[in-house]
Amino acid sequence: MSNPSTIIKSSDAPGPIEESIVEKLVNNLNPSYLKIANDSSKHAHHAGIRGATNVTESHFRIEVISNEFEGKNMPTRHRLIYSLLDDELKNKGVHALQMKTKTETESKK
């Protein structure tokens, strides 16, 4: 049995896209720690967002500690997360995703 996860969301009432991101990361990576921040409001004025249908859940910052990253380099870890969040990135209007990915061992250094 795995240790309980620490999950820190951007607010007490995260939106549906954030909830979907958290669910997919938890179910597929079994993280011991997951922190997600919705930075969309900081980017609402950017040219790339003008005319977008999703301006409230478009930019996220995530930190994930998971042993699923063991033996994987940073680009491979990021590709794994991009593949898990393919629908959010291609169809739901997530424009940017900033990531920090570590294994348990790396997080203790």
- Going by pLDDT thresholds of 50, 70 and 90, the confidence category of residue 70 is very high
More confident residue, 104 or 46: 104
Q: Provide the whole-model pTM.
A: 0.84
Q: What is the pLDDT of residue 49?
A: 46
More confident residue, 106 or 49: 106
Task: Name 24's Cβ contacts closer than 8 Å, sequence gap at least 6.
Answer: 84, 85
- Going by pLDDT thresholds of 50, 70 and 90, the confidence category of residue 53 is low
The whole-angstrom separation of Cα 109 and Cα 65 is 13
Residue 55, helix vs strand vs coil: coil
CATH fold of 6-107 reads: GMP Synthetase; Chain A, domain 3 (3.30.300)
Domain extents in the chain: 6-107
